[in-house]
Structure 1
Amino acid sequence: MQFTSEISSPGITERTFTLDDVTGVLWSPTDGTAGAPLILMGHSGSLHKKSRGILARAFHYVTDYGFSVAAIDAPGHGERPRNAQDEQWVAALEEAWNAGDPIDEIVTEYNTSLAERAVPEWQATLDALQALPEIGPAAPVGYGGITLGTAIGLMLTAAEPRIKAATFGGVLVYEALTEAARQITVPVEFLLPWDDEDIDRHNALVLFDACASQEKAMHVYPGWHDQVPEFAIDDSARFFLRHLGPGATSTI
């Protein structure tokens, strides 16, 4: 892991990094201590590691709760160029969207490929982050993501035993995701934007039902999937504090 820039402001330090061809960012409390919770954050489709929603959560989590937060660009997103197949999927999505045609099959193929590539990248990133003295291997790990961040996060959480709690929401469901949900037993929180016109609310209900966790909750709120209200951001922070912080409990 190579740090490429550093910016500090009251209470928080932001450092961008590269790990092979993966580009990422780490936000840490300026007075943090090793072993504080580390939250991995997955961005939405077509966005990047420093998109508005990621920044809002990261700054809140770090400055108000003392967490460290890391995000990476998904393959073909942010600073990472698309490969030829990615370009074909994106072009097909745009064509179908503009024509008003169904996009479910294209999204399923594209998200499946992105998750297959992103999961090992996240695992390598987590290895490198835990090697940092300010984080350390004892730091409890959580994951949070919406839309593409959920598609990747479900697969990652099912495969990665170091993740001890996760939040998901706003994703088109297909069999690989429900199968991953069936393998997840850590505490989870689902965010359900009730008025989302792009992703039917039934998708969240299917995932919630499939998830094998005994400790799971769903938070429903008005709006679209990129309109997460401030209270929902804080609810998620308190969810992570409850399950990853000092004296963490296993009861939601």
Structure 2
Amino acid sequence: MRITSDTVTDGIREQSFTIGEIPGVLWTPAGASGPRPLVLIGHGGGQHKKGWEVVSRAFPYVTTCGFAVAAIDAPGTGDRPEHPEIRRLVAEIQEREAAGLPFGPAWPALNETVAAQLIPDWRTTLDALRKLDHVGDRRPVGYYGLSAAGEMGIRLVAAEPRITAAVLGLVGSDWLIDTAARIRIPVEFLLQWDDDGNPRASVMRLFEALGSAEKTLHANPGGHFRVPAFEIDSSIRFFTRHLT
């Protein structure tokens, strides 16, 4: 793990890092020492590790809860090199969308291509972060991810036993049903009632498949990008309850 920048602004320490070819960022309270809970945050499709949907969650987790928060770029985004197969699949999906056609097999193929690299990268990142004194290896770990990060999050949470609580949602992929059934940790799951890309019936079917004894469905009116700001406050309460 190599720290490429280390700055403090408004009480938040931001450390950019690379682990091999994995670019990431870690936020912690300024002057923090000793272990603390860690929350991993995934970003949306085509976005990056310091996008609005990441920092709008990360900063309150740091300032309100005292957590460490980390994000990494998915393959082909942010500071990652271009990924030819991902670029090809995205172009095919965009062409079909412009023609008013279903995404077809390119959509699950895109998710499988991203997951094949991103899930191992997240696990490698978790290994490295837990060696840092101001994160530590004995405190709980959470995951937050919606939309594409929800798709990847279900896969990651099912595979990674060190993650003990997760906020997921805005995804209704039928091919994740069996994976979701392997999840046993507490989950807060978000659904946007008017999300054209993720029909509510599909999202609720995936929520129902979760094997968690404790799971909560939050359904709000509006489209995919209209998640209410108060859901951030809810996630703070959720992670405080399960990580501290």
TM range (shorter): over 0.9
- Structure 1 residues 177-223: Cα deviation after superposition (integer angstroms, max 9, x where no partner): 11110100000010111121222122220111100001000111122
- Structure 1 residue runs without a partner (length 5+): 246-252
Distance 1:104 1:149 in 2: 20
Conserved 8 A contact 2:40-2:70 = yes
Bigger drift between 2-11 and 49-58 goes to: 2-11
RMSD across aligned C-alpha pairs, in angstroms?
1.3
Partner SS for 1:208: helix
1:62-211 matches, within 5 Å, as 62-175=62-175, 177-211=176-210
1:17-96 matches, within 5 Å, as 17-96=17-96
Distance 1:215 1:142 in 2: 15
Question: Cα distance, 1:33 vs. partner?
Answer: 4.0
Compared CA separation, residues 114 and 34, structure 1 to 2 (3 A): same
- Structure 1 residues 37-91: Cα deviation after superposition (integer angstroms, max 9, x where no partner): 1000111111111111101001111111111110000111111123221121011
Conserved 8 A contact 1:7-1:15 = yes
Distance 2:112 2:172 in 1: 11
Distance 2:130 2:57 in 1: 21
Distance 2:243 2:167 in 1: 13
Distance 1:187 1:194 in 2: 22
Compared CA separation, residues 104 and 143, structure 1 to 2 (3 A): farther
Distance 1:44 1:129 in 2: 22
Distance 1:215 1:33 in 2: 32
Aligned position for 2:212: 213
- Structure 2 residue runs without a partner (length 5+): none
Compared CA separation, residues 92 and 172, structure 1 to 2 (3 A): farther
Compared CA separation, residues 104 and 232, structure 1 to 2 (3 A): farther
Distance 1:125 1:226 in 2: 28
Distance 1:212 1:46 in 2: 29
Bigger drift between 28-37 and 190-199 goes to: 28-37
Distance 1:124 1:152 in 2: 15
Distance 1:59 1:98 in 2: 37
Question: Cα distance, 1:141 vs. partner?
Answer: 0.1
Conserved 8 A contact 1:144-1:168 = yes
Distance 1:70 1:48 in 2: 12
Equivalent residue pairs, number: 244
Conserved 8 A contact 2:172-2:206 = no
Aligned position for 1:16: 16
Conserved 8 A contact 1:108-1:174 = no
Conserved 8 A contact 1:130-1:137 = yes
Partner SS for 1:165: strand
Partner SS for 1:86: helix
Partner SS for 2:190: strand
